[in-house]
Structure 1
Amino acid sequence: MTEAPKHDTVLDTGAEQLGTTYARALIAAAQKEGVADQVVQQLGRMVDEYLSQSPQLAASFASPRIDADEKCRVLDRIFGDEFHPILIKFLKVMASRDRLGYVAAVRRASETQLDEMLGRLVATVRTAVPLEDAMRSQIAERLSALLHREVRLKETVDPDLIGGMVIRIGDTVYDSSVVNRIDKMQKKAKAGFSSQLLKRFDEFVQDKT
């Protein structure tokens, strides 16, 4: 009888519990070296930039037909020069226990646990186009000043939200959508779009103070 691949899906009721357990171990190890934030960020990049973009790689991580040694070689080859040794070692432990298919669950749990430990708020930012680095930093800084708490941005892109953004923190929603200006915004350069978006962000933040 062939064993089914261990995929992290909504049908796997044990995924979140397993992710929580492994996340605690990862954060504990990373904290000893003072790199918890860095390691958790890198794990997020691995899920978003590699596994999400390569179904073949994700399937190989989850497949019981690929042995642990081969998975470890893949980890070294793809991530060894880019990610922190603590994260690589942790992922190899997961591979040795045939749990590498649950990386996404570990990522979710580790972000939640680290945010709670640091007293950090999570702001979900929905925009029509991906944020530029400078704008991302300014939004985080201004939200932190407004709320007197460190804020981590969780970004999503919604092409229908032309010319604006929606920020959600817990049950509070800050809405600065300007859909009625679609035509004008489409003609603006990327830098011009960011400038307008940041101006509107300032306006609704000031309204909250």
Structure 2
Amino acid sequence: MTDNVSLISGVASRYATALLDLAEEQKAVAAVEKDLDAFDKLLAESKDLDRLVRSPVFSADEQLKALTSILDKAGMTGLAANFIKLAAKNRRLFAVPGMIAAFRVALAQRRGETTAEVTSAAPLSADQVAALKDALKASTGKTVNISAKVDPDLIGGLIVKIGSRMIDTSLKTKLNSLKFAMKEVG
């Protein structure tokens, strides 16, 4: 198991593995991946949906009813939609974001891929992302997906995390190191 998997709860991991096995059986992996990405995006864009998913105040029936309507409007049917509804029925809806993350990790493992979390001071261009993917593939021997974040406090450079390894070339870190070295001298 990778470090990413250990960060995901056992429940989320079990549900995700079961979904991936079923999706492979039904030759629907691409459709399930697309629908889970769409649902994850809906969660990120809607505070109300996020509250519905995470709040224990709503009954399973209320969650299921609201979700069915949302999934229908979003055009999500099939395995992923049924999976999300099952999580609601089993009072596990709060774990769906973790299940989606676990699904991505399990799918990447089966594809022989890994994900690098990359933080930069400014958004990376398509050329920069491609060059970074190539460099990381040469280093790891695996296809690397990039999960990019922007943190203007870095000033410049990158922080790249793959599994338990981290490379920090940010200007912020270099300046902090210099500041620390100057204090020791003075």
- Length-normalised TM-score, structure 2: 0.69
Structure 1 runs not aligned, ≥5 long = 1-14, 180-209
2:114–2:162 contact (8 Å) kept in structure 1: yes
Q: Distance in 1 between matches of 2:124 and 2:34?
A: 17
Number of matched residues?
Answer: 165
Going from structure 1 to structure 2, the CA distance change for 1:82 and 1:176 (only over 3 Å counts) comes to: farther
Structure 2 distance, partners of 1:69, 1:135, is 47
Q: In structure 1, what residue type is equivalent to 2:115?
A: V
CA 71–31 in structure 1, closer or farther in 2 if over 3 Å, else same: same
| Alignment pair present for 1:17 and 2:40 | no
In 2, the alpha carbon distance for the partners of 1:84 and 1:129 equals 37
Matched, 1:50 2:42: yes
The alignment status of 1:66 with 2:53, answered yes or no, reads: no
Listed as ranges, the matches of 1:1-209 within 5 Å are 16-36=9-29, 39-40=32-33, 42-44=35-37, 46-47=39-40, 49-80=41-72, 81-83=74-76, 85-133=78-126, 135-178=128-171
Q: Percent identity?
A: 28
* In structure 2, distance between residues paired with 1:39 and 1:124: 23
**In the alignment, which residue of structure 1 is the partner of 2:3?**
none
Counterpart of 1:168, as a letter, is: K
The C-alpha deviation readout for 1:78-129, integer Å capped at 9, x for no partner, is: 3443546221111011111121111122123222322322222221111123
* Matches of 2:129 and 2:13, distance apart in 1: 28
Unaligned segments of structure 2, at least 5 residues = 1-7, 173-186
Q: What letter matches 1:16 in structure 2?
A: S
Greater share of helix:
2
Q: Secondary structure at the match of 2:32?
A: helix
SS of 1:94's partner is helix
